[in-house]
């Protein structure tokens, strides 16, 4: 135990003599640990955690393909036609559209993002909505 205390005293004396080296070493360790933590968190969220859906392997996202825009959204009439034409292929179909709106907070305006969805959206994904409401929108989700 005495040897450990002596080594710690020597290490502290040397770090006080070379403050620049100590700061660079501590910052390097902090940066390395932070980067590893961030990368592991991302890998954990993307690869290891299960999607919050009851049957994620049965859900597909469908877009309309155009020559210069491979992920083109559907118009609502196109969605209705597609839904009616694929009733034998998909057991359920829903639509959603990314939406941006502004909210006046008095002293500033806050930008809010979300999705407008139709009534079948939450049933299809097997989740319960926090707040109700229906809207017409354009990206198709389907279950087969």
For 72-100, how does the pLDDT look when each residue is reduced to its tens digit (9 = 90+)? 777 888 888 988 998 888 888 888 888 88
- Give DSSP secondary structure letters for 76-121: HHHHHHHHHHTTTT-SEEEEEEEEEEEEE-SSSEEEEEEEEE-TTH
**Which secondary structure element, helix H or strand E, spans residue 34, and what is its range?**
helix 19-43
The tens digit of pLDDT for each residue in 16-33 reads 899 999 999 999 999 999
For the chain, the structural domain boundaries read: 2-48, 56-143
Extract the tokens encoding 9: 């005293």
CB 115 within 8 A of CB 137: yes
Q: How many helices, marked H, and strands, marked E, lie in the chain?
A: 4, 6
In Å, how far are 13, 36, 91, 92 from 44, measured between CA atoms? 41, 12, 32, 30
Residue 130 — pLDDT band, cuts 50, 70, 90? low
């Amino acid at each position: 135990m005495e040897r450990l205390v002596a080594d710690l005293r020597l290490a502290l004396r040397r770090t006080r003599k070379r403050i620049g080296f100590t700061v660079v070493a501590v910052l390097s360790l902090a940066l390395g640990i932070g980067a590893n933590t961030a990368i592991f968190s991302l890998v954990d969220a993307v690869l290891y955690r299960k999607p919050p859906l009851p049957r994620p392997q049965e859900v597909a996202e469908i877009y309309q393909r155009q020559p210069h825009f491979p992920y083109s959204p559907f118009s609502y009439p196109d969605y209705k036609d597609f839904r009616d034409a694929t009733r034998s292929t998909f057991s359920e179909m829903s639509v959603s559209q990314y939406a941006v709106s502004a909210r006046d907070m008095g002293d500033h305006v806050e930008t809010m993002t979300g999705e407008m969805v139709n009534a079948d959206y939450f049933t299809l994904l097997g989740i319960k909505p926090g707040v109700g409401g229906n809207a017409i929108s354009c990206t198709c989700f389907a279950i087969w």
